[in-house]
Amino acid sequence: MKKYFKRILPIFFTMIILATSGILYGQGQKKEGNLEIDLGLGFPDLLHLGMKYQFTNLSKIGMSYGSLIATNKNRNTYAVTLEHEYHFGKNVNNIKLPPYYFTQKITYLRDFNKEASSTVFYLTPSLGKVFFSEGPFGINLDAGLNFRLHQNKTIEAPSKENISNNYPAVFPAIRFQFFFML
């Protein structure tokens, strides 16, 4: 089963990239770029700081770096997320982007402590809404599902605490972000 999964995964990602690029070129390129800086909380994004670039009239690409603030000094958890947003719906109040969006994220999550370490890749499709405020500030709220693509777990010393490094294969995702448009 693992060999089959390893063969199918590159084909799957290639198909996503080709489909996304076809949709993007069909929209036309955006003439002036917008940069969004965001600070948020979610899983698998964790407490994160990121940026997104609006490169067409309806699409953004972005990345973020997140970390888990743990009370235990021996544990370290961080995440790197790459994402694509496609906005849809009716424009309201002279805002450049429609308020609803579909996002697809790929997240690399690394969790390690003295006893064990775990590396996980997630694919997270989700739907969201942008709440614009006066000026360049706003809030993003999205929800979807996390699909674990790959997990590599190494146990150094058996312990009851190692249960924290087990991540489910599929579970709900939610993310809350404050953003500032440049």
Mean pLDDT (whole number) for 20-40: 64
What pLDDT, on a 0 to 100 scale, did the predictor assign at position 136? 84
- State yes or no: pLDDT of 13 exceeds 90: no
Question: Which residues, listed in sequence order, are joined to residue 117 by a DSSP beta bridge?
Answer: 112, 154
pLDDT band at 157; cut points 50, 70, 90: low
- State yes or no: pLDDT of 125 exceeds 90: yes
**Which class is 33-181 in CATH?**
mainly beta
Give the pLDDT confidence of 96-112 residue by residue, as tens digits.
789 999 999 999 998 88
- Percent of the chain with pLDDT strictly greater than 70: 74
Cβ atoms of residues 30 and 38 within 8 Å: no
Tokens 């809404």 map to which residue?
Answer: 129
